[in-house]
Each structure stands twice: as structure tokens, then as C-alpha cells.
Structure 1
Amino acid sequence: MRAAHGWWMPLLLGLAIALAYANGLAVGFHFDDWHVIQKNPHIRSLASIPSFFVDPDSSSVSRENRLVRPLLLVSFALNYAVSGERPWSYHLLNLLLHWCVVVLVFRIVRDHFWLGDAALPVAAGAALVVAVHPLNTSAVDYITARSAVMAAACYLAAFDAAVRDRRAAGVAFFVLALLTKEIVFTLPLALLGYRLLAPGAGGPRPALRLIGWLAGLGVAGLAYRAILLPPSVVAATHASDVGSWRYFMTGWSAYLYYLRLFLWPNALVVDRLDYPVVRTFAEPQAWASLAGLVGLGTLAWKVRRRLPALSFAFVWFVVALAAESTVFPLAEAVNEHRPYLAMLGLGTAASLGLWHAVTLVAPARRMPAFAAVVGVVACGLGWAAHARTEVWRDDYTLWLDATRKAPANARAWTNAGHAALARGHYDEARPLLVEGQRLAPCYSYALLNLSAVERLTGRLADALRWGDEGVRCNPDLALPHLYRAAALEALGRRDEAIDEARRTTDIDPQAVDAWMEQGRLLEQGERWADAAAAYDGALAADPTLTDAAMDAGVLYHYRLGDSARAAARYRAALAAVPTHYGAHYQLAIALFATGAETDAVAAWRAFVPLAEAIGDQASLARAPARLRELAAPRSS
């Protein structure tokens, strides 16, 4: 029987995913993608892969968002090698990983959940629900949330291997999971829960020694991150005004929030920064949620012998969310991609419930009846996932949707305003940003985007006023200083703008835009050496930034008379983009000026075919006659 469905079930699950996410490859970059992928120079070269394992700076250009997730970054680097900043390959890999997760859900439920003759239909139903449930669209459509999908794939593979007593495979997959996302350290708890339920249900149990090894690896994984991440970065990922106990109490309602979205996913929203935080146990949100969880736990305990699969589904749901919904206070209490790993438990419970309902209603024809019911449910969920993915296709639509569903969320209003600003719709952007700032008066992104809108519409005094407010509210953040510098420049106060841009790079030396702004402003003031140093700062922050390399090279060559240093900058541009036309030309000229005639001739000979291919006779004629003479072919 197993051989009969060994190939068609993965194929069916792949078809279901392909239909539900048929519009997924057209989804763009969103939210944190800008600092993890779009602006991150480290993923643009496969040579950077070793740094992903030891340097948190390689994970993001945003100081406050740096993490240690090396395997995730490796996947982004591979995507960049395939499609650059075109998102289709990123989404294709997300969908392939989602398919792997769904196949593992099918395999685990079928083989390990003590279901007897119901194993195949219940496993198929659970896997189909996980495949097309719209609650998973955030994890699948949002590229940076690949961390949840990839971690789940490794976590499930490790669990499956451990239960089968394939210890080497279990350890290997768990190490991969730990290198993807830190939340996976809960795997030993899931295995322990399975082991405790297994004696009454029958079947193999994961070895205690293996669980102990995995627990040790989990602790080592957390220690690895603690060593690499500065305390300030760790603190930035946590809610500043929410302690562990408050976050723990809030987490009780978070569990029920995710359960509600699973049962009725009509309130899916990209961001819930406005989710209420519990302050005291006396609040109904705390005690009522705890009572609900205790009730569900009691029910799961009572049916542990008759329905062990349902009991373990509850255990899985609790354990899978524990890292992000208990005592580790994160910046947001809830996030839609977090329940992705827990979907094994939720999908199993749903499929098992449908199986028993059909058995009660139509026991004689329960298999075709169950298939029909699951098919109808999967079609409905798949349609909802497709519609939700359509919302994800456009940044403006995504964030306007968030303002409607979470109107008290300042970040939603701000990001909707930023999306309108990016489109050039300034009149639409302004009221959205004003509302974001009203909800959170010192929210830095609302303030700096308001400054940008006013500057772009010529209201320069207002632009500086918002820039001043951004710096006053957030003096230790880099970006508010850069936006204030832009307002000062627009007002003609160049020296003040330079000082403000320098404050930006003092705070964050990786702020490439601030280095480039300094260089441009310093050039305007004919401060050539300082401008070249600023461009060098940009190049140090992003070695792939050819504009910085070329601007510095031109200054060293033509303004400062340092042709050797200029040649080094042109070589840096060519290292980033080997076909860079201007770098080929300028390198030959700079090398010739240093007296390195052999190298200059080689560089010129590399340039000539490029110029001839586009008919650029002017550049060919402009080169020093002696260089052209040396590079000319010798007659035999």
C-alpha cells in the first residue's frame, strides 16, 4: 500500500501548492527584505559564505536587525547568484521548501502518529491543509520569512529521523535547523513529549540518549549566537518595556490568536505591532486565555489513550510556538509566520477531527466521504491562499490592508505611506505618515519619511522640522541623522548637512548612503581628499558598490594626483562588475600614469574590444598616444 502512494501523494501535494501559489512568483520584496537582501552586499558574492557563520554584520545592513542565521544567508546568496534582485528565484525556492515541509508532514503523520488504518487518509488531509492554508502565506510569500520555512523543513526531518532511530541523520538535520533559526532548540521537548505518549500508543520511541545529545546541541546553538551577537543587538530584538512575565502572559492569548486564524483566517495581516500586551494577570486577556489553554490541555490529556495523535498534536502546537510565545520577549507579541512550524499539530488535529466526523455520519462510505470533505476544504483554503498572495504582490496594497485590519498599528500606516512615497504619490503618502506619527509620536520611520515627503514637495521648513524631531526622539539611530542632512542640504546649509551625515556614519559605519552623501557634498565644496575618503568609507561598507569605487578613483586620479590609489579603486570596481566599461578605461589610463606600462597595455587591450563593440571612437582617440602605440598589434 505504501509503495502505491509513495509517488503520487508528493505529486498531488506539489500540484496543490502550485495552484494555490500560482501568482506567488510575481510577489516582490517586502518589509525586512530591503536590509537583509536588497541592500545587503554580503549576499552578492558566494565568496562571502564563510563570513555568514562568524560575522553577524553580514546578515543585514541594519544595525538593529543583525542575527546569526548562516544557512538562511547561504540560500539568499545562491538566489542572488541565480537571479540577482529579481525575486522569482527566491520565491521558487520558498515554494520548494514549503513542498518539502508538506511532504514531511504527510510522512510523519502517516508513519508515527499511531493511526492504524486511518494513517493514510488523515496524513493526506493534514498535509493538504498545511499545503494550502492561507495562514502560511506570510511564511511562503515573504522572502525573509524563509527562516521559518527552512527551519521547519530541517526540524521536521530531524524529528522524523530521531523517531526512526536514525541518529546521525537526526543530529545532522538538527544542526542545519540551528544554523537556520534559533527557535528550533525546542526539538528535544517535542521528542520528549512524543516519547511520553508512545508507551500507551504503541510503536517506537526516540532514545533518551539521542534526546540528550540534541538538547546539548540546542544549548550549544544558543551559546554560539550569544558569543557572536553584541548585547545591544540582542536587546534591540526584544520589547524594551515588556519583561519576561508580561510577555509570557501575553503569549497565552497569542496561542489562541493563532488558533483562531487557523480556524477562520479572515483577519490575516502582515504586521500586528499593535497587539495588546498584558500588564497584570487580572486582565481577562491573561486569565481567560490561560483557562482556554488549560482546557485544551486537559482535553488532550484525557484522550491520550484513545486518540494519542490528537494529544500529540496539542503538544506539538505548544512546543513549536514556545520559543517565540513564552518567556523570550520579542519586539512583537505575534507574527503570522510564527505558527508555520506549529502547523503540523494544527493540520493533524483538523484532519483527525474531519475523519472522526465523517466516520460518525457515513461509516460505510467514510473514505470517499472524507476525500470529498477534505477536497472541498482544501479548495476553499487554496482559494483564500491565492487571494492572500495577490495582496502580497504589491507593497502598497499589502500595507493598506494592514491599516484596515490593524488601525492602531503605527508601523502599518507608516509603511503604507512609504509605499505611496516610493510610487511618487506624495499627497497620498502624507496623511498615511501623519497618522503613523500620531499613533507613535517618536516612531523614527514615520518621522524620517515625513521629512522626505516635505522635502520632495518643496516644503523645506517642514522637512527640517520633521528631521529635527526624528533626531530628538532617536539620537542613537543612524537614519534620522541622514534624513535631517538631506533637509539641511535642500535648504542650502551644506556644512551642517555634512556634519549630520558624518553623525550617521559615526553611529553606523555600514551606512553606505550616508558615506555617499558625504562624498557628494564634500565634492561640491571642492574638499577632494575628504570626499575621496568618504567614498572609500562607502566602498569599505559595500565592496560591491561600483559607484563608490569609481567616484573615489576619479578623485584620486584627476584631483589628487594619486594614480596608484586610483588604479586600486578601479580594480575594486572591476572585481564587483568585471564588465564595467568605465572602470576598464580608467584603469588603463591610471596604470599608464603610474608608469606601469605593461599592466596599462594589458588593461587597454581589454578595453579596446568593448569600445569597438559600441562604436566608441572618442574614448579610443582620447587615450594617450604612447599608450595606444604600445598596445597596437606588432607587425611580424
Structure 2
Amino acid sequence: MKSGLLKNSRAQVLILLVMGALAYAGTLQAPFTASEVQTLLADPVIQDFSKVDEIVRIDQVFNGSLPRLSFAVNYLMGHRTPWGYHLVNLLIHLGVGLTFFWVVREWLILFSPGHPDSLRWLPFVAAIIHLVHPLNTQAVILTSSRPILLASLFYLLTFGFLTRFLKEFRENPKKARGSVDLLFAMACFGLGGASDPVMVTLPFMGWIFYRFYPASSKKMELEIFALALIPWIIYLIYQFTTPAPELLKEASGQRASVPLLYFLTQIKAFVFYYLPKVLLPFHLNLDPDFRLVAGVWDWTWMVALLVIVLLAAGVRAARSPLVLWASLWTFLIFMSYYGLGMDDPVVSEPRFYLPGMGLHLLLATALVALGNRHPIAAWLRMGVPALFLILTFGRGQDYRSQISLWEETARSSPHKPRVHYELARAYLNAGSADPAEKALAITLRLDSKHVPALVQLGEIYIQQKEYAKALNAYNELMRQGIKVPEVRFNSGLVLLALKRPKEAVPYLEEAVSRQPGSADWQLTLARAYHQSRRLQNALNHYRSTLQINPDQPVAHNEMGLVFWDLKSYFFADASFQKAYQLDPRYVDALNNLISSSMLFKQYDQTITYLNRLLEIHPKDDNAHQLLVAARRFQKQQESAAAPAPDDFH
């Protein structure tokens, strides 16, 4: 019997892995989102593995250290190649599915000792629903969602070991005190805390889980409850003392407390967004257009609360500990953590990855029960997961490019300015300026003061060399009192393009002072100084550029031009050489090396550089003429250096 069960479990594990992998088979090559490139991949600690100690420092352990460490390993092995990051996410997701399979089996043993044979399919069906459910697509595909995946894995592992400990404790309390399962549970809890703050809800959920069993004393029960609440209370204080995001403040219109409106909105979202998407996972959305409730007396959240009360009554009427526990898991994890999070956007599908497991278990329970009562409906056990797999695979195709992803999102959220702005960025990254301009126009029609869109529109004008339009756009922003550094920087960039470097310098100076870590901005300011003939200032900022990015050939080459203007020709030649070493096809550096080698009368080097230039541009007439001249100068040099005939006597 035992070997048969083991064999059956192995087959189920194999099916879970295959189904989970199939659901996301077409997503490994999905590109990063623009926000992931700007934040996650731009982290200097992730880019330099020698700085990994900054991630694992004791003061950084509970600041997402485990996901950042995994990103650093990803970057070390594959730099910015997306498939490696997606593969790690998928492997973690598969691990979550297998752990969920194991944990549900443990729950069945604990909640229903000697559970009937009719429930043998429940762990498998619950796990496969979680693995292939379309609502989890965003959490699995987006690299930035890895903290949620890791925390969910360790959350489940903690509960798995805790369940085994309670089972041992019920059978033999004295023996259970030395159980290794409790140590494993504590270790997993620590690793989860290093992944995502959602772990603060685990002690509280653990106490509720413990409440399903008779306590040895009321005093002990109260002590455990008090200890379990401490992490959650600390999190609660932190959330209510942290300023709300500006977008949420604007959306609330300051009509009431932003945290209160946000909490009421999450009640509404729980009923009118997340629950329907679990049961009918169609029209999923990367950035749902779900607004804060209008106020405390908004009737929509009240209706949602009434629905929750009715659902709770139904759960109670079921008189099933497992159904009650699954319901509490979904509602309490979601509301006690994400209901207080005050994150923007208000609704985000990855947030339901961990809480949604409770609903997946309830759905699996319903499918198994239906199949047991009506044999003709037994096909639903695999028919529903198969449908979910098809939907997930199709949803994954939306992620094949940033344009397809944001076009689909714009169709689902046509009235959300940020969606059209992100679509414009996707078009720009693909080099499509015209559709990007149209998307930005829609953004500004929806929100005339959308600063990033106005900045981006100015950048399009710059690319199209419509500098007057760009300058007017940035001047209008500055007249509105917009002081973001990008506006100042782009204003200086436009003035440089208009050959007005002295006017550009103040704008660029202010921008760089507020964002000194940008190599491109330091480089642009150096150019403005150079064109304004402030050569020493130019040198200083070229050096600052190279401190940030020492392997930038353009900065080395242009610093060489400053040295040339200072008549420091040897330093200029060294800079040109470094630029050429970094990029052997860098034509400007080659031309400058040709000039410097001619100056130093090193004609053999001049000929070498000219030949290299002609390999790149074989039809360069000027290079052909210079090559003829260099060879003539080389012969004259050799003739002058040759000993006279009388010297042999």
C-alpha cells in the first residue's frame, strides 16, 4: 500500500512539473519591462558580485536580501539576458506548486485523520490549479515579482513543517519538543523574512492554525496570541506612519485618510476583482484601472463587505475545518498585509499569488466533491486545470514583447494615463517614434500634467530634431514649477543641439547636482563645458563620467579632444588609444589617432590606423588620400634616417 502510494505520488509530481512548465514554455524569452531595467537591473550592487556582502549584511537581511542575492547571481551568470531570470522565477514557481501539494496532504492528515479515499485527488488538483492558474501569470513572468515567489515558497514550507510538528505534538507532546520540524519551520520563516515583508502575517496565521486544536491552557493560548501579533503590529505602525504614495494622495483628493480609503478599496477589490478572476480568469490586466473608493460612504465597498459576510456564513455552514482554514488563509493574508500596504497601483495581480492558494484549495475541493457525487463530472478534475493551462499559455504570449503587453493593457485600461505612457516607452524602445507620440498624446489628454509624458514628448522632439518644439515643451514645464532633474537636463540637451552651450551649462549643472550618479548626464555636462571653452571643468566631468563607467569609449575620446585643445598632446593620444582599445570600430577615435600619430610623425602607426579605417569604410576618399600622404612621409623619413654613402668608408 505504501509503495503504491509512493508510486502514485511520483507520477503526480511528474505531471505537476510538466503541466507547470508547459504553461510558461513560451515566456522564457519575454523582455524585461522598462521599470525593471531602470530599477532592478540598474542596481550597482547586483551588477558587481564583489559587492554582494552589501546585500547579506545583518542590517540588510530583512530588506529583500534573498531576492537581491538571486538577482546578483543571475547577473553574474547571464548579465541582462532575460531568459535566465525567467527560468529562475519558473523554477521557484514549480517549487511552490510541489510544496503546496505536500502541505495540502499534511493538512488533510491533520484536519481529517483517516480522511476518506475520496479526497486522495485533492492535494494534486489544488497544486495543479495553482501552477497553471492564469491569475499567477504576472507573478511568474515579471522578474520584479520574485520576492513574492520566494516568500510564498518559504511561507508554505514553514506551514508544512509546522503542520508536521503539530501532528507530532498531538501524538506525543514530550517527543515533539525536540522535533527537528520546528527548527526547519523557524529557518524557513527567517528565509521568508529575507524575501518579502508578507511574512509578518505568518505568526498570526500560525496562531489561528494552532487554534484548530485544543490548547493546554487559556493562559498559554493568550501568550502565543500576543507573541504572534507583535510582527504584524510593528508592520501596521510602519504602514500608518509612512507617507502614502503621491498618486494615491491625488486619487483620494484628500477627502479622507488615505490608509482608510485604501483599506476599504481592498475590500472592494477582493470581492469585485480578485474573486471573479480566480473563478473566471479572463481579461487579465497588467495595470487594472481600479480607483480608490470615493469616500467612507461609498456604497461599493459596503456591498463588497456584505458579500464577504454572506460568504463567511456559507463557509461556517459547510462545517469543514479544511474549508474554513482555506477561507481564512485567503482573506486574512490578503487583508492583513496587502489591505494595509498602500501600494500603487491599487490592484495588482501578483499580490494574490500567496493568498489565492486558499481559493485554489477551495476550488479543488469543489471539483473533487463534484466528481465524487457525479461520476460523469469527474473529468472536471483535469478539465478545469487544462483550460487554465491553455489560458495561461495564451496570456503568456502577451508578454512576448513590451509593445504587445502594453497594447493589450491599454485595451483593458483605456482611461489610465500610466498605461498609455508605458506603451509610448515600449514604442520608443523599439524605435517607433510616431506611435509613441500618439500614445503620449492620449496620456496627456487623460492627464495634462503627466510630467513623465511631457518629458518623453520633448525627447521625441529631440530625436526628430524639432528642437524649438522640445524647448517650448520644457519651458512650459518649468513655468508650471516642475523641478524634476530630467526637465533641466533635457533643456540643456536641447540648447546644446541649438549650439547654445553657455546657456545649456546652468541647466545641466543643476540636473547633475541632483543626479550625480548618471554617467550620461556627466558626459553631457562635460561636452557643454568643452563647447563653452571651460576646458578644466570639462576635464573634471569627463573624469567623473569615467569614474562611474570606466569602459565608455566616447568619454575617453572626448577627454582626449580637451587635452588636444590644451595642447597636451601626449595625454590626448593616450585617451584616444584607450577609446580605440575599448571599441576597435570607433571611427572618431581612429580619426583622432591618425591625427596624433601624424603630429608625432609616427607614420607606421598612421598607416596602420588608416588601413583599419578603410576596413570599416572602404570608400572613404579622404582616408585613401591620407594613406598616400602617410606612405610618402614614411619614405621620406626612412630616406632621411638612412646613412650617407660616405659613412661606409
Specify the TM-score bucket, using the shorter chain as the normaliser.
0.7 to 0.9
Assess if the C-alpha contact under 8 Å between 1:410 and 1:437 holds in 2.
yes
The equivalent of 1:627 in structure 2 is none
Give the TM-score normalised by the residue count of structure 2: 0.76
Q: Structure 1 residues 430 and 356, CA, compared in 2 at 3 Å: closer, same or farther?
A: same
Query: What SS class does the counterpart of residue 441 from structure 1 fall into?
Result: coil
Q: Structure 1 residues 534 and 175, CA, compared in 2 at 3 Å: closer, same or farther?
A: farther
Give yes or no for the alignment of 1:239 onto 2:248.
yes
Q: Structure 1 residues 210 and 83, CA, compared in 2 at 3 Å: closer, same or farther?
A: farther
**One-letter amino acid of the structure 1 residue matched with residue 150 of structure 2:** M
**One-letter amino acid of the structure 2 residue matched with residue 128 of structure 1:** I
Give yes or no for the alignment of 1:271 onto 2:280.
no
Give yes or no for the alignment of 1:288 onto 2:303.
yes
Supply the distance in 2 between the matched residues of 1:570 and 1:72 (Cα, whole angstroms). 41
Shift of 1:279: 2.6
Assess if the C-alpha contact under 8 Å between 1:24 and 1:389 holds in 2.
yes
Q: Structure 1 residues 22 and 436, CA, compared in 2 at 3 Å: closer, same or farther?
A: same
Shift of 1:526: 3.9
Assess if the C-alpha contact under 8 Å between 2:485 and 2:510 holds in 1.
yes
The equivalent of 1:633 in structure 2 is none
Give yes or no for the alignment of 1:468 onto 2:475.
yes
The equivalent of 2:10 in structure 1 is 7
The equivalent of 2:21 in structure 1 is 18
**One-letter amino acid of the structure 1 residue matched with residue 282 of structure 2:** N
Q: Which has the larger radius of gyration?
A: 2
Match of residue 451, structure 2, among 426, 433, 444: 444
Match of residue 73, structure 1, among 68, 82, 91: 68
Assess if the C-alpha contact under 8 Å between 1:167 and 1:210 holds in 2.
no
Match of residue 369, structure 2, among 349, 353, 356: 356
Match of residue 462, structure 2, among 455, 458, 467: 455
Q: Structure 1 residues 236 and 557, CA, compared in 2 at 3 Å: closer, same or farther?
A: farther
Aligned residue runs from structure 1 range 475-554, under 5 A = 475-539=482-546, 542=548, 546-547=552-553, 550=556, 554=560
Assess if the C-alpha contact under 8 Å between 2:330 and 2:356 holds in 1.
yes
Match of residue 182, structure 1, among 190, 193, 197: 197
Supply the distance in 1 between the matched residues of 2:283 and 2:522 (Cα, whole angstroms). 42
Supply the distance in 1 between the matched residues of 2:163 and 2:381 (Cα, whole angstroms). 28
Assess if the C-alpha contact under 8 Å between 1:13 and 1:127 holds in 2.
yes
Task: Decide which moves more: 387-396 or 149-158.
Answer: 149-158
**CA-to-aligned-CA distance 1:422-447 (integer Å, 9 cap, x gap):** 22222211111011112122222211
Q: Structure 1 residues 489 and 556, CA, compared in 2 at 3 Å: closer, same or farther?
A: closer
Shift of 1:122: 0.9
Supply the distance in 1 between the matched residues of 2:40 and 2:525 (Cα, whole angstroms). 24
The equivalent of 2:353 in structure 1 is 340
Aligned residue runs from structure 1 range 266-415, under 5 A = 266-272=282-288, 274-303=289-318, 306-322=319-335, 324-362=337-375, 370=378, 372-415=379-422
Assess if the C-alpha contact under 8 Å between 2:41 and 2:47 holds in 1.
no
Provide structure 2 residue ranges, at least 5 long, that are not aligned to the other structure: 166-180, 253-257, 590-611, 616-626, 628-649
**One-letter amino acid of the structure 2 residue matched with residue 261 of structure 1:** K
Shift of 1:87: 0.7
**One-letter amino acid of the structure 2 residue matched with residue 240 of structure 1:** K
Assess if the C-alpha contact under 8 Å between 1:98 and 1:140 holds in 2.
yes
Task: Decide which moves more: 399-408 or 8-17.
Answer: 8-17
Match of residue 45, structure 1, among 30, 48, 73: 48
Assess if the C-alpha contact under 8 Å between 2:553 and 2:582 holds in 1.
no
Shift of 1:410: 0.4
Query: What SS class does the counterpart of residue 492 from structure 1 fall into?
Result: coil
Assess if the C-alpha contact under 8 Å between 1:148 and 1:181 holds in 2.
yes
Supply the distance in 1 between the matched residues of 2:340 and 2:37 (Cα, whole angstroms). 29
Supply the distance in 1 between the matched residues of 2:141 and 2:481 (Cα, whole angstroms). 32
**CA-to-aligned-CA distance 1:155-192 (integer Å, 9 cap, x gap):** 21122222323222222222222222222211112212
Supply the distance in 2 between the matched residues of 1:413 and 1:506 (Cα, whole angstroms). 31
Shift of 1:555: 7.3
Shift of 1:216: 5.2
The equivalent of 2:425 in structure 1 is 418
Shift of 1:111: 0.9
**One-letter amino acid of the structure 2 residue matched with residue 511 of structure 1:** S
**One-letter amino acid of the structure 1 residue matched with residue 485 of structure 2:** A
Supply the distance in 2 between the matched residues of 1:497 and 1:296 (Cα, whole angstroms). 64
Match of residue 28, structure 1, among 27, 31, 47: 31
Shift of 1:569: 14
**One-letter amino acid of the structure 2 residue matched with residue 298 of structure 1:** A
**One-letter amino acid of the structure 2 residue matched with residue 527 of structure 1:** R
Query: What SS class does the counterpart of residue 269 from structure 1 fall into?
Result: coil
Q: Structure 1 residues 314 and 559, CA, compared in 2 at 3 Å: closer, same or farther?
A: farther
Q: Structure 1 residues 313 and 463, CA, compared in 2 at 3 Å: closer, same or farther?
A: same
Query: What SS class does the counterpart of residue 7 from structure 2 fall into?
Result: coil
Shift of 1:219: 7.0
**CA-to-aligned-CA distance 1:13-56 (integer Å, 9 cap, x gap):** 11011111111111010142112233333211211212235699
Assess if the C-alpha contact under 8 Å between 1:447 and 1:469 holds in 2.
no
**CA-to-aligned-CA distance 1:572-612 (integer Å, 9 cap, x gap):** x9xxxx988899xx9xxxxxxxxxxxxxxxxxxxxxxxx9x
**CA-to-aligned-CA distance 1:443-499 (integer Å, 9 cap, x gap):** 222111111112222332221232234445573433333333333333333233332
Q: Structure 1 residues 253 and 121, CA, compared in 2 at 3 Å: closer, same or farther?
A: same
Query: What SS class does the counterpart of residue 280 from structure 1 fall into?
Result: coil
**One-letter amino acid of the structure 1 residue matched with residue 287 of structure 2:** D
Percent identity between the aligned chains? 23
The equivalent of 1:249 in structure 2 is 264
**One-letter amino acid of the structure 1 residue matched with residue 324 of structure 2:** S
**One-letter amino acid of the structure 1 residue matched with residue 286 of structure 2:** V
Shift of 1:141: 0.9
Supply the distance in 2 between the matched residues of 1:558 and 1:164 (Cα, whole angstroms). 75
Supply the distance in 2 between the matched residues of 1:34 and 1:472 (Cα, whole angstroms). 31
Assess if the C-alpha contact under 8 Å between 2:406 and 2:423 holds in 1.
yes
**CA-to-aligned-CA distance 1:383-410 (integer Å, 9 cap, x gap):** 1111111101110111111111001110
Supply the distance in 1 between the matched residues of 2:576 and 2:517 (Cα, whole angstroms). 19
**One-letter amino acid of the structure 2 residue matched with residue 290 of structure 1:** L
Assess if the C-alpha contact under 8 Å between 1:255 and 1:325 holds in 2.
no
**One-letter amino acid of the structure 2 residue matched with residue 42 of structure 1:** V
Shift of 1:211: 7.4
Query: What SS class does the counterpart of residue 3 from structure 1 fall into?
Result: helix
**CA-to-aligned-CA distance 1:218-273 (integer Å, 9 cap, x gap):** 678899x99xxxx99x655873344111111111111121111111121211112x
Q: Structure 1 residues 450 and 194, CA, compared in 2 at 3 Å: closer, same or farther?
A: same
Give yes or no for the alignment of 1:135 onto 2:173.
no
Aligned residue runs from structure 1 range 545-624, under 5 A = 546-547=552-553, 550=556, 554=560
Shift of 1:84: 0.9
Query: What SS class does the counterpart of residue 281 from structure 1 fall into?
Result: coil
**One-letter amino acid of the structure 2 residue matched with residue 264 of structure 1:** L
Q: What is the number of equivalent residue pairs in this alignment?
A: 556
Supply the distance in 1 between the matched residues of 2:248 and 2:481 (Cα, whole angstroms). 16
Give yes or no for the alignment of 1:167 onto 2:162.
no
Shift of 1:553: 7.1
Assess if the C-alpha contact under 8 Å between 1:467 and 1:487 holds in 2.
no
The equivalent of 2:124 in structure 1 is 124
**CA-to-aligned-CA distance 1:100-146 (integer Å, 9 cap, x gap):** 11111111111114252355311111111111111111011111111
Give the TM-score normalised by the residue count of structure 1: 0.78
